[in-house]
Structure 1
């Protein structure tokens, strides 16, 4: 069975990314989308952590690298 377009893009993933917090380190407790770009570049060079957090950080790195972080701002829950 062929995959539908919705299988490749799930907006819930972006909402979760916009509202997840960094669980450790210098920026513990910060929203991932608020992490400074140099911190993400450091992870990109050293290696992202395994699992879901690593996928989120790698995705965020690509978003910030391409100047698209403004897309996450309206998704942040107040």
Structure 2
């Protein structure tokens, strides 16, 4: 269980297909989940893929889990990992 509060930063690392709308589909899940995005980092990956790192605040464990499941269910997503940092 992670600490609660507005200062808890969560990091999501998403590996996805290199498709035009893939990033927008992934970010939509964060908007629907009420996340406040604090950072994005997008890099190409081997085998025609992309790696997106999303930093967000304002999420409790349940909402972060829902976002992770929603993102992981997208057909353009290959893998999702998430964690938190305080401070």
The reply to whether TM is greater than 0.5 is no
Relative to the length of structure 1, the TM-score reads: 0.28
Relative to the length of structure 2, the TM-score reads: 0.26
RCO higher in 1 or 2 (8 Å CA, sep ≥ 6)?
A: 2
Looking at secondary structure, tell me which structure has more helix per residue: 1
Looking at secondary structure, tell me which structure has more strand per residue: 2
Larger Rg: 1
